[in-house]
Amino acid sequence: MDLVHEPVMVAEVLDLLQPQRGGLFVDCTVGAGGHASALLEAGATRLLALDRDAEALGLARERLASWADRIELVQADYRELPRLLDERHLPAVDGILADLGVSSLQLDAPGRGFSFRRDEPLDMRMDQRQGEAAADWLRAAPEPELADVIHRYGEERFARRIARAIARARTDTPITTTGQLASIVRRAVPRRGYQRIDPATRTFQAIRIRVNHELDRLDQFLEAAATRLKTGARLVVISFHSLEDRIVKHVFRSLAGQAPQAVHVLTRRPLMPAEPEIARNPRARSAKLRAVERFA
- Write the pLDDT tens digit of every residue in 173-199: 999 999 999 999 999 999 876 677 899
Confidence (pLDDT) at 80:
96
DSSP state of 77: -
Q: What digits encode the pLDDT tens for the residues 122-160?
A: 999 988 888 899 999 999 999 999 999 999 999 999 999
Confidence (pLDDT) at 127:
84
Q: Residue 57 is which amino acid?
A: L
Rounded Cα–Cα distance for residues 103 and 114 (Å):
10
Closest CA to 93 of 34, 42, 49: 49
Domain 10-101+215-294 and domain 116-212, same fold? Reply is no
Lowest mean pLDDT among 69-73, 248-252, 292-296: 292-296
Rounded Cα–Cα distance for residues 237 and 29 (Å):
10
Confidence (pLDDT) at 3:
40
Confidence (pLDDT) at 189:
93
Quickly count: other Cβ atoms within 10 Å of residue 39's Cβ. 26
State the pLDDT confidence band at 91, using cuts at 50, 70 and 90: very high
State the chain's mean pLDDT as an integer.
92
Q: Which 3-state string (H, E, C) describes 230-258?
A: EEEEEEEEEECCHHHHHHHHHHHHHHECC
State the pLDDT confidence band at 106, using cuts at 50, 70 and 90: low
DSSP state of 93: E
Confidence (pLDDT) at 2:
41
Confidence (pLDDT) at 103:
67
The structural domains of the chain, with segments of one domain joined by +, span 10-101+215-294, 116-212
Confidence (pLDDT) at 234:
98
Rounded Cα–Cα distance for residues 61 and 31 (Å):
10
Rounded Cα–Cα distance for residues 283 and 156 (Å):
20
Q: What digits encode the pLDDT tens for the residues 200-243?
A: 999 999 999 999 999 999 999 999 999 999 999 999 999 999 99
Is 296 a residue whose pLDDT tops 80?
no
Confidence (pLDDT) at 111:
79
Average pLDDT over residues 161-182: 97
Is 261 a residue whose pLDDT tops 70?
no
Q: What digits encode the pLDDT tens for the residues 15-35?
A: 999 999 999 999 999 998 999
Q: Residue 103 is which amino acid?
A: S
Burial of residue 138 (CB within 10 Å: 0-12, 13-18, 19+) is buried
**Domain 116-212, architecture per CATH:** Orthogonal Bundle (1.10)
Angle among Cα 5, 10, 114 to the nearest 5 degrees reads 40
Average pLDDT over residues 75-95: 97
- For 51, the enclosing helix (H) or strand (E) is strand 46-51
Closest CA to 293 of 219, 235, 248, 218: 235
Residue 235 CA to its chain's centroid (Å): 15
Handedness of CA 178, 184, 188, 194 (dihedral sign): positive
Rounded Cα–Cα distance for residues 51 and 80 (Å):
11
- For 277, the enclosing helix (H) or strand (E) is helix 275-280
Instruction: State whether CATH 3.30.530.20 applies to domain 10-101+215-294.
Output: no
Rounded Cα–Cα distance for residues 135 and 48 (Å):
33
